[in-house]
Amino acid sequence: MSELNSKIPEGPLANKWNNYKEHAKLVNPANKRKLEVIVVGTGLAGAAAAASLAELGYQVKAFCFQDSPRRAHSIAAQGGINAAKNYKNDGDSVFRLFYDTIKGGDFRAREANVYRLATESRNIIDQCVAQGVPFAREYGGLLDNRSFGGSQVSRTFYARGQTGQQLLLGAYGALERQIGLGNVKMYSRHEMVEVVTIEGKARGIIARNLITGQLERYFGHAVLLASGGYGNVFFLSTNAMGSNVTAAWKAHKKGAYFANPCYTQIHPTCIPVTGDYQSKLTLMSESLRNDGRVWVPKTKEDAKAIREGKKTAVDIKEEDRDYYLERKYPSFGNLCPRDIASRAAKEACDDGRGIVPSGLGVFLDFADAIKRLGVDVVKARYGELFPMYQNITNEDPLKTPMKIYPAVHYVMGGLWVDYELMTTVTGLYCLGGPRG
């Protein structure tokens, strides 16, 4: 039975990662060419890992069950990516990002790992820019930031409403470059069915070729799982092409321990359910709460009239609206953390003040932002999000408030890892969604 050893470095929290890097064993360039690494999954974590390892000189084999390594659920991450660069000079710091992340994870995350993430966040943005990710920029050309739920600073780097897509394309481009150089061998339409272990160490995988149906064996000195989380276990979620989690389960059968196997993000800004035959939900970017105000009518009678089509949002006077996030959480308001915003929306709807026929929906209103900034500025900030909403609902959110309700969007957790991201199986590492 494996002993759980997180391998957290000694010393003060802020120095752990630097101390680890400065004393880690190195591999010289000539020896890197002799080592083969298998990467399972080519979303943001997998594609970035495969490209980076190949750039360092390792021989990489990358696997995905889609027809292309760019078809991953990472593409649905619309809002942005956080980094403690303090470009807005609003008091941000590595520690504040660390603290907000710990708080956002309900204080269940390993502090040393989160502090490392906060520290490296600044370098991650630079890497993404180098890969060609077209982050939004201010008029003078500097990278722009916007606010996001759960923090009181502007630290979110974004590419309008398609950040995940642009990040994935950047990682995909870097991966394709390494494929072209011969440093990565890409195996699409392959699904891992077993981790091969020799004397308790991961030394390869068995994968099924989904075109021929044949089982194929592949050797690797190390195996990296970046195969996504458990989103598809939920009946209705925003997942369309996410992981089926078989890789994590096969690893568990070889001795990898589980941890937080269903660490789930509930987003408060999904388009509400509209029918019995719906197969998935659509997320409106969380960034919309930066300018949108969330509200429901103060009275059940007004809410019922809206549900029955007898009234519209415009008919509800300002004094008859309950901007409940601003009322309950004045220091954060509409930018309160996702779990708090989601819970508050459910409470309002459970109170009978939901504004869609099912009763499960609230308004996200941009009227004040349009009045303050102008419609062109608001449209430019969020790109295709408004047209996407209009195409789905046949309502223009620039003229009438959006209708939103919480739903499952992203799922992390699964296999337990130590500080080096290794599971309880030596040589088997876990990145991104499958990691707990």
Residue positions annotated with a catalytic role: 338
Name the burial class of residue 10, with classes exposed (0-12), middle (13-18) and buried (19+) by CB atoms within 10 angstroms of its CB: exposed
Which runs of consecutive H residues, i.e. helices, occur in 285-359?
300-307, 324-328, 338-350
Query: Residue 347: what residue type?
Result: E
CA atoms of 100 and 341, how far apart (whole Å)? 16
**Residue 230 CB burial class (10 angstroms; 0-12, 13-18, ≥19):** buried
Q: CA angle 82-335-155, nearest 5°? A: 20
CA 259/CA 248 separation, integer angstroms = 11
At residue 189's C-alpha, the angle toward residues 188 and 193, to 5°, is: 105
Q: Which two tokens stand for residue 343?
A: 């819970």
Whether 76 and 237 have beta carbons less than 8 Å apart is answered as no
The alpha carbons of the chain give a radius of gyration, in whole angstroms, of 23
- Contact call for residues 187 and 175 (beta carbons, < 8 A): no
Secondary structure class of 186 (helix, strand, coil): strand
Q: What are phi and psi of 218, to 5 degrees?
A: -135, 135
Q: Which of 247, 261, 337 is nearest to 43 (CA)?
A: 247
Task: Calculate ∠ Cα 197-198-199, nearest 5°.
Answer: 115
C-alpha 61/C-alpha 42 separation (Å) is 11
Q: Nearest CA to 38 among 145, 244, 269, 195?
A: 195
CA 153 to mean position of chain CA atoms:
19
DSSP 138-185: -TTSPBP-B--TT-SS--EE--TT-HHHHHHHHHHHHHHHHHHTTSEE
